[in-house]
A = this chain, B = another copy of it.
Amino acid sequence: MGANFGKNYCVSIFGESHGAALGINIDGIPAGTELDLEFISEEMRRRAPGRSELSTPRAEKDEFEILSGFVNGKTTGTPLAMIIRNTDQRSKDYSEIARKPRPGHADWSGLNRYDGFNDIRGSGHFSGRITASLVFAGSIAKQILKEKGILIAAHIKSLKNIKDRDFTEEDISLENIHKLRNMLLPVLNEEIIPEMEKVILKAKENSNSVGGTVEIGVTGLKAGIGDPFFESMESELARMMFSIPSIKGLEFGAGFSIAEMTGYEANDEMYYDENGNVKSYTNNNGGIIGGITNGMPITFKVAIKPSASIEKKQKTVNLYTKENDVLEVKGRHDPSIVPRVIVVLEAATAIVILDRFLEDQKYGYLTDLR
C-alpha cells in the first residue's frame, strides 16, 4: 500500500527504477486546465540527474508521455495518467546486494516487508527516481495555484554545516522563484555557494555523501484554509513530506527553536498592515495555527539525510552465511541529493496545497445561506 494520496487532487504512483516504466495517475485535475508542457519538462529536468558535476553522471531524460485525460492542450477532467519509460538501465549484478543489505537503504526493511520478492535493481520502488512522478503532478498543481495567486518557493537552507538565511515574505515572489529555479544550488545568500560546492565535491572525492535542509515557503493563501486535528494543514503536509525518500525531519515556522522560546517570544503578535490585512510581526507558527492558515506565509523546513549510496566499505550482515560481513558498492552516485530533491519538495507541497485549496472551495456556496 502507500501508492495513493489526496482527497481532492488524488495521485496514484507506480514504478521501479529498472522496470519498464514509472508513472502516476492523477484524478481531480479540474477540467479545462491548460497545461504548459514546457514548464513541466523544465521541472522534470530540475530533478533529473547529470546536470553538473555536483550530481551523478547518470543521464536519464525523464521524458514523459501523457496517456489520458488531456486533449487539445487541455485537461478533460477525467484521470490523467503519465508514464516515463526507464532507459538507462545498465545491466548490473545485484546478487551481492541481495545477500548483503546496504546500510541506510531500504534493502533490509523492504526484504522483510515483501518477503524478498520486491525488485531490488536500482533500489526498485524505493528509488528516488519514483519521485519524478510527484514532480509531474506537482508541476500541474503549481500551474493551477499560480492562476489563483498562490506561489511556492524553496531554497537550500543548509548543506551539511553551511547555512543559508531564512525566507522572508518578500523572497517568495514570482521573480525570485524564477531565479531560484535556475540555480544549481538555489540559496538566498549567494556568497555561500562556493562553500557548498566545496562540501559536495569533497564528499564526492571521498566516496561519501552529504545531507542538508530545505526551506519551503507558500504565499497567497487566505486565512482559514485547513482543519483542526487529523486534516490539519501541518498533518497533510507532513504526511506528504515524510513520503519522500530520505526525509527525516520537518518543522513549521520556528520549529524546534520554538521549544526554547517563552510563550511571549513565540506568540506571533498581530497588527493591521497598510491594506487592512491582519499580519503578525513574527511568523514562528509558520502561517498555520490550529491546523488552519492565518494569512501569513506557510514556511517549513525538512531535513534530508545524506544519500545512503556511498562507495565506502561498510559493515553489514550476510544473509547467506548468516555472519557479519562488509560491503563495498561501486556505482554512479550523487554526492548530495539535496539540489535535486528541492523540486520534488516544491512539487509535493503543491500537490498538498492544491488538495487543500479544493477542499476549502466546497464551503464557497455558504455565503448565500446566511
Contacts and interface: CB of A to CB of B under 8 A. Distances in A.
Given A4-B12, A25-B3, A361-B363, A104 B289 contact: yes
Classify chain A's interface size: 35 or more
Given A14-B79, A67-B23, A211 B266 contact: yes
B3 A230 contact: yes
A243 B269 contact: no
Contacts of A269: 103, 314-316
A294 interface: yes
Contacts of A265: 306
A262 B210 contact: yes
A103 B1 contact: no
A69 interface: yes
A43 B56 CA distance: 44
A243 B235 contact: yes
B114 A76 contact: yes
B108 A303 contact: no
B256 A22 contact: no
Contact of A160 (B13, B160, B259): B259
A241 interface: yes
Nearest to A212: B259
B264 A314 contact: yes
Interface string A185-220: 000000000000000000100101111110000000
Contacts of A83: 67, 81, 83
B308 A263 contact: yes
Interface string A89-122: 0000000000001111110111111111111000
A108 B270 contact: yes
Interface stretch (A26-34, A45-53, A167-175): A26-34
A261 B78 contact: no
A234 B256 CA distance: 18
Interface in A297-353: 303-310, 312, 314-317, 322-324
A16 interface: yes
A20 B67 CA distance: 5
B258 A211 contact: yes
A41 interface: no
Contact of A292 (B112, B223, B369): B112
A266 B316 CA distance: 14
A155 interface: no
A160 B267 CA distance: 15
Contact of A243 (B101, B208, B291): B291
A275 B362 CA distance: 28
Contacts of A270: 101, 103, 108, 315-317
B249 A255 contact: yes
A370 interface: yes
Contacts of A213: 256, 259
Contacts of A226: 109, 113
A179 interface: no
Given A271-B317, A364-B365, 4 more contacts: A69-B125, A210-B261, A211-B260, A264-B314
13 contacts: A14-B67, A20-B65, A76-B125, A103-B268, A160-B259, A206-B262, A234-B248, A248-B255, A258-B305, A262-B306, A266-B308, A269-B314, A364-B364
